[in-house]
């Protein structure tokens, strides 16, 4: 479980593993502006205890991985997808199941098309291929972020309060907001980051479009997990993925927002384990509502 710094693609990527390397691998890819810590240790360990070799890592510009000057990321989504594959190389993993949250789900789609030989299955949580005509970000969320104003990124307390408030505005009505847990994770996240403000670079990353228009060509088993009250990537985005990726399964989380709340862990972990049981090709979850 010890973190290690991997030199891949000419950059440093911080990664950590759980479980036995001889078990089927699951690569967890977190969303934009978010470090691997938000794949919480208990969540990772539960997957590992069920017979999976779990790898989580910090994307560029978050956590302990390489950071860039704010506003000038100097890399593309393709580079981030290739980083993930190089992480697999570092752990000696030839094929993996990928679970991607939000932007991580977008990267999972790119990897499945760019490096199909490395992928067994993909699970896309609160993600999208951003096809034309899909609903935009919820207006209330846009209003919230528009009122945030300038942030003093050198003031750790201010940054902490912004992180907590930003997490709260993303939740749905089903689960109560666990402020104590979010605050603790955010404090650790800020303290361990090379340069916390650099996470904003994810908003400036380009590329990926030539792959996302080909989502219908994904040939590995896919599972879509999406909350019905997601204000950032509305539920219709998840339904679009199900209708676009051949044979994709769906796990609907009623009342869940753009989050992975502890109260959903049981059903989400069960679905991931079933989907990643490679000896059961028919194990995808179809239209289950959690």
Q: What is the DSSP string of 251-289?
A: EEETT--SS--GGGHHHHHHHHHHHT-TT-TT----SEE
Chain centroid to CA 44: how far?
A: 13
**Whole-number Cα distances in Å, 254 to 126, 130, 175, 235, 264:** 13, 22, 10, 10, 10
The set of catalytic residues is 102, 230, 258
Bridge partners of 195, per DSSP, are none
The pLDDT assigned to 285 comes to: 44
Low-confidence spans in the chain with pLDDT less than 50: 279-288
- The pLDDT score that the predictor gives to residue 148 is 76
Q: What is the pLDDT of residue 54?
A: 98
3 state SS of 69? coil
* 269 Cβ contact partners less than 8 Å away, ≥ 6 residues apart: 43, 46, 47, 50
- Give the E-state strand segments of 180-280 in sequence order: 222-227, 249-253
Residue 145 pLDDT: 86
pTM of the model: 0.95
How far is residue 172 CA from its own chain's centroid? 18
pLDDT (0 to 100) of residue 2:
87
Helix (H, G, I), strand (E, B) or coil at 15: strand
What kind and span of H or E run contains 47?
helix 41-49
> 10 Å Cβ neighbour count for 212?
17
Pairing of strands 96-101, 119-125: parallel
The whole-angstrom separation of Cα 58 and Cα 248 is 27
pLDDT value, residue 147: 78
Side-chain half-sphere of 138: how many Cα atoms within 13 Å? 18
pLDDT in tens, 27-40: 999 999 999 999 99
Burial class of 132 by CB neighbour count within 10 A (0 to 12, 13 to 18, 19+): exposed
Centroid of chain to Cα 209: 18
pLDDT of residue 283: 41
- Which residues partner with 14 through β-bridges? 5
**Cβ atoms 98, 81 nearer than 8 A:** no
Going from the C-alpha of 120 to that of each of 60, 220, 258, 270, the distances in angstroms are 24, 6, 25, 18
> Which secondary-structure segment (H or E) carries 139?
helix 139-146
> What is the predicted pLDDT for the residue at 282?
42
């Amino acid at each position: 479980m010890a973190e290690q710094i991997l030199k891949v693609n000419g950059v440093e990527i911080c990664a950590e593993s759980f479980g036995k390397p001889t078990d089927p691998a699951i690569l967890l890819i977190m969303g934009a502006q978010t470090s691997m810590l938000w794949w919480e240790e208990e969540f990772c360990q539960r997957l590992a205890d069920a017979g999976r070799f779990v790898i989580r890592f910090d994307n560029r510009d978050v956590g302990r991985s390489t950071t860039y000057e704010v506003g000038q990321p100097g890399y593309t989504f393709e580079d981030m997808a290739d980083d993930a594959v190089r992480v697999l190389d570092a752990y000696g993993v030839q094929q993996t199941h990928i679970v991607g949250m939000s932007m991580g789900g977008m990267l999972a789609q790119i990897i499945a098309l760019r490096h199909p030989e490395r992928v067994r299955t993909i699970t896309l949580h609160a993600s999208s291929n951003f096809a034309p005509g899909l609903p935009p970000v919820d207006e209330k969320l846009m209003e919230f972020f528009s009122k945030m104003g300038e942030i003093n990124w050198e003031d750790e307390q201010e940054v902490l309060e912004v992180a907590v408030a930003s997490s709260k505005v993303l939740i749905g009505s089903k689960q109560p907001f666990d402020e104590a847990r979010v605050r603790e994770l955010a404090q650790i996240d800020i303290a361990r980051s090379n340069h916390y403000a650099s996470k904003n670079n994810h908003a400036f990353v380009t590329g990926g479009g030539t792959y996302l228009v080909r989502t219908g060509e994904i040939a590995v088993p896919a599972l879509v997990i999406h909350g019905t009250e997601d204000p950032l990537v509305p539920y219709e985005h998840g339904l679009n993925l199900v209708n676009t990726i051949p044979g994709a399964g769906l796990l609907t989380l009623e009342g869940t927002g753009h989050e992975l709340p502890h109260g959903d862990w049981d059903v989400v972990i069960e679905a991931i384990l079933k989907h990643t049981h490679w000896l059961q090709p028919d194990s995808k979850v179809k239209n289950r509502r959690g």
